[in-house]
Every structure is written in C-alpha cells, then in structure tokens.
Structure 1
Amino acid sequence: MPEKKIFLTAHWNYLLLFNYAVPEHFLTPFLPKGCELALWNNQAFISIVGFQFNHTRVFKIKWPFFTHFIEINLRFYVLYKEKRAVCFIREYVPSYLIAGIARILYNEPYKTEKITSFFEQDNETLKLQYGLSVKNHPFTMSVTANNKPYMPEKNTAEFFFKEHDLGVGQTRKGKTLLYNVHHPEWRVFPIEKHSIEIDWVFFFGSAFAFLENKDPHSVFLAEGSPVEVYHHAVV
C-alpha cells in the first residue's frame, strides 16, 4: 500500500454521516479497477458526509484562505486487496482553489458551491448543521446529539462507516489511484434527533432519483481528530 510523503495535514472535526442502503449493481459503474464493494450486513451503502477542515496545511505550508473550511461529500465503501477504503462520487467545497488542486492532483470529483453551517454546544447537547446554498435546491443535514462521546466497538456500524485509512479513486486514464489517510480512531456522539432535506437529482444526478424522500439507514456524528493525507500512488 502506498505511503510516500505527507501531502496534507489538518484537523477533521464533527464528521456528520447520513448512510443509505443501495443496490450493489447501482455502485458497480463507480468502482475503480481492482476494487470490490465493502458490505455491511450484506448491503452496499453510500454516505453523505459533512465535516470541518481546520488548521489545514498543504506541503507543510499554511496557505491563506485555505486553512478552515467545510466539505460535503457523497462516498461509498470498497475493498482493495481486502483493505477497507472509501471512494468518492461527489465532493463539494467552498473554494475554486481547493477544488482545482484536488482535481489536478487526485482527479477527485470536486465542485465548488457556497456551504452553510451552524454549530452550538454546551455541556449536555451539541447541535450541528451543514448545507449547500443553491437557490431553490435544498440541501441541509442536521443533528442534535448528546455531548458525551464514546468509542464504538470494532464490530459496529459506527466503526464500519467512520474508520478507513485508504482512499481510492481513478486517474483520467482509468487507472486506480490509492492514497493513505492516517488518524486515531474517532469517538462518536449519541444522536438524539436528525433531519435531512436534499434535492438528490440536482446535486448528484438523475441516477439518484430513487433516494428522494428515502430515510437514512443510520446517522452518526464522529468527533474527529488531526489527520495526515499522503501522496497518491497509481497502480
């Protein structure tokens, strides 16, 4: 597996995951070469994930206007040589510069949109919302959680969805691209309430119309930590 040198360091904080079961054949066209789907309880899943990038450095440099931002992505779960990994269908960030760098270096499916957020926390409760601000096209995901995070066991859904240290993509020529992501295991917050409103077709394409008004299988909020993203390798 590739290690190479560190490309990016950051703190990923308050990772909000809305998880949806989908047919396996639906994800087959998105699979990079050499990968197979990773299943939870014999089902394939996609996740909408919103999270905070903080204290970001690229090539060890703290770039102006690039250190604190929010990303929202749509991802699914794969195995590469039996190693669990994530693969991205769409990623949204609020900066053309960030999106451009990711597309050039990793061929990641980034788009640029204005991202909104709300965060409120006290000793007992945490309230969080991420959204995409596009006129007449709703996209908001929010939770209220108990502010007492815990570490889930390795055989749980929480662990399956949140813990991966390999990213997989494809080059423009269709070759498989791998990169390591290192971080400690994340605690999760007990969810008390959640809601999501999303125009699936507008943001992700007509193939996702079957998810309109579908309830998520599960919702998790991970605490996050410092992370290291390594340079990619093409295999």
Structure 2
Amino acid sequence: MINNILKSTSHREYPLPKGPWIMMQEWEHLLFMHWPVSPHKLKPYLPPGLELDTYDGDAWISIIPFQVSNVRLRKIPPIPFFRPFLEINVRTYVKRNGVRGVYFFGLDANKLLAVLGARMATLPYFYSKMSMAKINGSFYYDSARSGRNSAIFQASYQPIGDPYYPEKKSLSSWLLERYFLWSYKYGALFRGGIHHRKWELQDARVNLKEQSLTSFLPSDLLETAPSLVHYATSKTALNWMIRKEGTDS
C-alpha cells in the first residue's frame, strides 16, 4: 500500500520530500470549511519568512475537524490497542521561495501524548475535550479547549452528492492539494512535508453552531458561513521530519 502511495505523484506540484517518511496516519471523516479573507487583514498574523498565497486575489482560512487512526512510525509495527483520536486544525495558505503549503494557526486534539509529541515537533497543538458521533448519516462534532487559550467548536455535517476529484487549478484543488507545512517557534521557521494520493471529495452540508478557534483574528473575518465546504471519507498520509528552515525578513 505505501509503495503505491509513494508512486502516485502526478497530482503533486513538487517532488516528494527528501529522505524517508517517518510516520503514517489514517485521516477519517474530514470536514473542510473554507472562508475567503482580505489578504491585508490576515498578513499581520503570519510569521516572518512566509508570504500569503492567494486565489483570484483572496487569502483563505480553513477549519478542518476529523478523526486520526492507524498511526505508526516507519519500520515500527502499529501500537497495540491504540485508539483513534480527534483533531481540528485551523490553517491558512502560504508560500515560501515559490513553494506552496499551509501555515497552522492552531491544532486541537484529544490525545495528550499526540499533543505533547506534536509540540516537540514545533506544531502549535492544544489539548481539548472532543467527541464525534455519527447519527443517521450526519456527523456531530464537539470540542472544548480550556485554560488561557480556551476555544469551542460545535458543528454537525453531512456529505451530499457523488464523490469527485477536483479539477486541476480549481479552487478546491488549490485549497486541498497542499504537501508542505510551516510552523514558527524559537524565532525560526520549520518546514515539514507530507504525501498522499489525490483528494476524492464530496460536497457537504454543515451546521456550524459555534466556533471560537479563530478568536485571535478580527471578529469580522469569519462572521459568515463558510463559502465552500467539502467532505472526504478517509486518506492515508505519510509525514516527513519537520526541519528548521530559518527566516527571511
């Protein structure tokens, strides 16, 4: 299976990252909610060295809740009795030296070991109490992060229509086919690479009851319903080591 994933590269804009992958994850029941935002309002929230990537003049913010399962490190068997955990990430779309990717404003998970491990890898994870249930074809997702950086996410969502592959150069493809991520810690940029097969999507209907994951941004940036919503059943992803890049002024 992994060799087939590694051989499937025609949808990538750039070659696979150098060196071996280090971790495999299975992502399940992913909801992608996307909002267009004014670039000049979002730019101040990026770290030095990253440039906003835009589509037809708009920057974008996405909130993505999903379940993580079947996690294992390279050349190490799956951990017995490992339970799936839930995760939400908030990201925007950036580029550096011509390479496109994503920058995470924050990531929540309900497995403390995953949070601590990701923080060691420079990613801005938070521990949250989270639940997901499937009832009559709809998913109900709740997350509550406590403490100084408290945040809430409550939504229900349902896939609709037939699965499809986004057309190349479409907005959907531009948003989802991203294979590099950046983080910022210790005054420096770090970059990691990922790889998976091309996204197969469905359209989705979402009822976003409450979310304060983006409360650090101006309140008017995400005051409307998401402009674009996708659902994906699952994806097997390979992750490469996150390495320090340095910064540009």
d(CA) in 1 for partners of 2:131, 2:94: 30
**Amino acid in the other structure paired with 1:188:** L
> Which residue of 40, 46, 49 corresponds with 2:64?
49
Superposed CA offset, 1:50-76 (max 9, x none)? 112111113535346655111111100
Aligned residue runs from structure 1 range 135-174, under 5 A:
139-146=153-160, 148-172=162-186, 174=187
d(CA) in 2 for partners of 1:58, 1:25: 40
> Which residue of 44, 50, 54 corresponds with 1:35?
50
For the 8 Å contact 1:2–1:178, the answer to whether it is kept is: no
Where 1:3 maps in the other structure, the secondary structure is coil
Cα RMSD after superposing both structures: 2.5
d(CA) in 1 for partners of 2:20, 2:84: 22
Superposed CA offset, 1:27-53 (max 9, x none)? 323324432111122101111101121
Count residues with an aligned counterpart: 226
Unaligned runs of 5+ in 2: 1-15
Change (3 A) 1:100 1:55: same
Change (3 A) 1:67 1:57: farther
Where 1:231 maps in the other structure, the secondary structure is coil
d(CA) in 1 for partners of 2:141, 2:166: 24
Q: Which residue of 1 aligns with 2:11?
A: none
> Which residue of 37, 44, 62 corresponds with 1:22?
37
Q: Residue 78 of structure 1: CA displacement?
A: 0.6
Return 128-137 or 83-92, whichever deviates more.
128-137
For the 8 Å contact 1:57–1:67, the answer to whether it is kept is: no
d(CA) in 2 for partners of 1:81, 1:66: 39
Q: Residue 96 of structure 1: CA displacement?
A: 1.6
Unaligned runs of 5+ in 1: none
d(CA) in 1 for partners of 2:221, 2:114: 29
Q: Which residue of 2 aligns with 1:185?
A: 198
d(CA) in 2 for partners of 1:159, 1:207: 26
Does 2:192 match 1:176? Answer: no
Does 2:142 match 1:131? Answer: yes
For the 8 Å contact 2:154–2:211, the answer to whether it is kept is: no
**Amino acid in the other structure paired with 1:181:** I
TM-score (norm 2): 0.81
For the 8 Å contact 2:192–2:242, the answer to whether it is kept is: yes
**Amino acid in the other structure paired with 1:166:** F
Q: Which residue of 1 aligns with 2:118?
A: 102
TM-score (norm 1): 0.85
Q: Which residue of 1 aligns with 2:87?
A: 71
**Amino acid in the other structure paired with 1:148:** D
d(CA) in 2 for partners of 1:212, 1:35: 22
Change (3 A) 1:61 1:31: farther
d(CA) in 1 for partners of 2:99, 2:223: 33
The percent of aligned pairs where both chains have the same amino acid is 25
Where 1:210 maps in the other structure, the secondary structure is coil
Return 57-66 or 40-49, whichever deviates more.
57-66
